[in-house]
Amino acid sequence: GEVQPATVIKDLNLLSHIYTTAIREWGVEATNPVTIIRKPKTPPGRLRFLTNGEIVKLLEESRKGHRSNLYHFILLQLHTGMRPSEGAGLTWSQIDFDRRIIDLRETKTDPRRVPLTVPAIEMLASLVPSGGYDCRDYVFLPRNPKMSYRLRPNQYFRESFEEALRRANIEDFHMHDLRHTAASYMIMNGVDL
């Protein structure tokens, strides 16, 4: 089967790393064959942003699906630029209401703290259960989510998100693009990334 140029590059980089390690670390006498292979060109990255009008429509439609908190999830994504899995899998213990941050120090990729805008913190405050909560409780996921949601929390919103896009007539847009949209708006509003 065919693979994307990015996959070929990833594989070549891995192979190159194996050779480099063998030569440098283990004293293997070899030449790294990857150095003479011409790597494929990657197509320009696809960047899809929502326009203001599309954001309004998507938020409107997100209130009508079978996941009642899809609206809040999308709003949080647009205000923070977190990865979909980080936003969907958020637990109450990660939110610091006083310092207005989300603590993502335990993420696999890049541990960091995400600042919260006033609308984001107000929206999260509105979701706090009246009877209080256990710190381990999820903000969006049900209390004991099935394993597939634990592993990939954004799957919880997948269907309802796609339904909302259809109703809003938004094409060629993926959940991850909310991250690009958030970043582009932050840049336009002069936020230091």
* Tens-digit pLDDT profile for residues 152-179: 999 999 999 999 999 999 998 999 999 8
| Band of residue 108 on the pLDDT scale cut at 50, 70, 90 | low
Q: Is the pLDDT of residue 13 over 80?
A: yes
Mean of the per-residue pLDDT values of the chain:
88
> Residue 160: its pLDDT value, please?
96
Neighbours of 121 (CB within 10 A): 19
Structure tokens, 3: 């693979």
In degrees and rounded to multiples of 5, residue 139 shows phi and psi of -75, -45
Span 82-100, mean pLDDT?
95
> Residue 102: its pLDDT value, please?
95
More confident of the two residues 126 and 46? 126
> Residue 191: its pLDDT value, please?
53
- Between CA 43 and CA 46 the distance in angstroms is 8
Using DSSP's 3-state secondary structure scheme, residue 113 falls into strand
Q: Which residues contact 47 (CB under 8 A, 6 or more apart)?
A: 177, 180
Angle of the 70-80 helix axis to the 177-188 helix axis, nearest 10: 50
Q: Which residues contact 190 (CB under 8 A, 6 or more apart)?
A: none
> Residue 187: its pLDDT value, please?
63
Q: Which residues contact 111 (CB under 8 A, 6 or more apart)?
A: 104, 105
Q: What is the pTM of this model?
A: 0.74
* Tens-digit pLDDT profile for residues 117-146: 888 999 999 999 888 888 789 999 998 999
Q: Which residue has the tokens 């995400």?
A: 114
| Band of residue 74 on the pLDDT scale cut at 50, 70, 90 | very high
| Percent of the chain whose predicted confidence (pLDDT) is above 90 | 52
DSSP 134-157: -TTSBSSS-SS--HHHHHSTTHHH
Structure tokens, 98: 């006083």
